[in-house]
Amino acid sequence: MATIQLQGVSRRFGETAAVSDVSLETDRNEFLVLLGPSGCGKTTLLRMIAGLLPPSEGRILVDGKDVTALPPRERDLAMVFQNYALYPHLTVDRNLGFGLSVRRIPKEELRRRVNEVAELLDLGPLLRRRPKELSGGQRQRVALGRAMVRDPKAFLMDEPLSNLDAKLRSSTRTRLISLHRRLDTTFVYVTHDQIDAMTMATKVAVLNGGRIEQLGTPVEIYDEPASAFVAGFMGAPPMNLIPAELGTDADARLVLRAPGVEIPLPRTAGRDPGVREVLLGIRPEHLTPVAADHTGPALRGRVDIVENLGSEEIADCEIGDLRVSVRGARPIGLNPGDTATLAVRPDLVHLFSRQSGRRLEWLPEPENADSVLVS
């Protein structure tokens, strides 16, 4: 069990700033997921923590000790890669014990640790097989087991599930969650898959262009995305982002005006905000198909495609030049070609600055108990 601290860590490759000024700290026993699109710097950051790549700037601390200049073997961290890198000519048993035997760990101790890990990962029946006689998921478990026998301070994992099919990914996620609980160890896990992040993380760092866009629990990241980028990255389909204008009505109440819809917000303008250009964010599950004569705020458009996910359906609708997704229990009550009326709940909308992309927050104004909007 270890804490990992990054203090102003950056890494450049020539002109490319792969990682810029990243600072974060894990709690003990954290499952930290580094999440972001291809090229955002996840792997570079993980390799710096592992000691495989020196940072251009900044410090890395493990359990409060500065390890920035230490080589990988002196950091006591185990790395699990996306390609399993097993020895093809060795049995599972020997693959598991290999790292210990080169360190001249006594035989009985080696046996004990290999057996313990084999039991934890359900590898017992496979110990005599070679990697080519294993499925992808089984190989992944051996790779994990090989890291675990060392009993490291923390596990660093780079897309370890990316070669597995959907069903195996899901069962391996469950296994990783329970392993994390039982091992009482820090995990740092790189992925571009938001489901990995939502299901396993205790904390998520969303990276964009080498910088941390948001650091928080999965629920915070989903429910209160710090920017339009995070909102558009988390969720499948992601949050609908609709250009809108924020202004006031005749009674000084705040309203959002988007094509074909006016959404009264449950607030009075503390100060006249003028007209502000914003992005209106609505999660697909917060749009509800209703009858055409619905009187509350609603988006109106044409249903293009309806996808059946089994228990749920996702409808893709055209609203003027925009496309929005609607998600709901099957049957969602929409068919391709229909004209859809989609009710909007004003209390569930998100607002982002159209200029900076940052989330706009309501802050109570001390003097008059009304609200102001800040980004």
Nearer to ligand ATP, 42 or 286 (CB): 42
Q: How many residues does the chain have?
A: 375
Nearer to ligand ATP, 92 or 156 (CB): 156
The answer to whether residues 371 and 364 touch, using CB atoms and an 8 Å cutoff, is yes
Distance CA 325, CA 149 (A): 46
Distance CA 365, CA 375 (A): 15
Nearer to ligand ATP, 16 or 135 (CB): 16
Nearer to ligand ATP, 44 or 227 (CB): 44
What's the closest the beta carbon of residue 174 comes to ligand ATP, in angstroms? 24
What's the closest the beta carbon of residue 54 comes to ligand ATP, in angstroms? 12
The answer to whether residues 373 and 247 touch, using CB atoms and an 8 Å cutoff, is no
Nearer to ligand ATP, 53 or 349 (CB): 53
Distance CA 7, CA 194 (A): 25
What's the closest the beta carbon of residue 81 comes to ligand ATP, in angstroms? 11
The answer to whether residues 204 and 197 touch, using CB atoms and an 8 Å cutoff, is yes
Across-strand partners of 371? Answer: 269, 364
Q: Residue 334 CB: number of other CB atoms within 10 A? A: 22
Question: What are the residues binding ligand ATP (CB under 6 A)?
Answer: 13, 16, 18, 36, 38-44, 192
Nearer to ligand ATP, 38 or 311 (CB): 38
What's the closest the beta carbon of residue 247 comes to ligand ATP, in angstroms? 40
User: What is the 3-state secondary structure of 276-317?
Assistant: EEEEEEECHHHEEEECCCCCCCEEEEEEEEEEECCCEEEEEE
What's the closest the beta carbon of residue 131 comes to ligand ATP, in angstroms? 24
Nearer to ligand ATP, 16 or 368 (CB): 16
Nearer to ligand ATP, 91 or 162 (CB): 162
Strand, coil or helix: 190: strand
What's the closest the beta carbon of residue 365 comes to ligand ATP, in angstroms? 41
Question: Residues with Cβ < 8 Å from 258, sequence gap 6 or more?
Answer: 242, 243, 244, 245, 280, 299
- Taking CA 345 as the corner, what is the angle to CA 344 and CA 349, rounded to the nearest 5 degrees? 90
What's the closest the beta carbon of residue 175 comes to ligand ATP, in angstroms? 23
What's the closest the beta carbon of residue 157 comes to ligand ATP, in angstroms? 12
Distance CA 154, CA 3 (A): 8
Distance CA 120, CA 115 (A): 9
What's the closest the beta carbon of residue 198 comes to ligand ATP, in angstroms? 18
* Nearest residue to 41 (alpha-carbon basis) of 61, 58, 27, 65: 58
Nearer to ligand ATP, 35 or 246 (CB): 35
Distance CA 355, CA 243 (A): 11
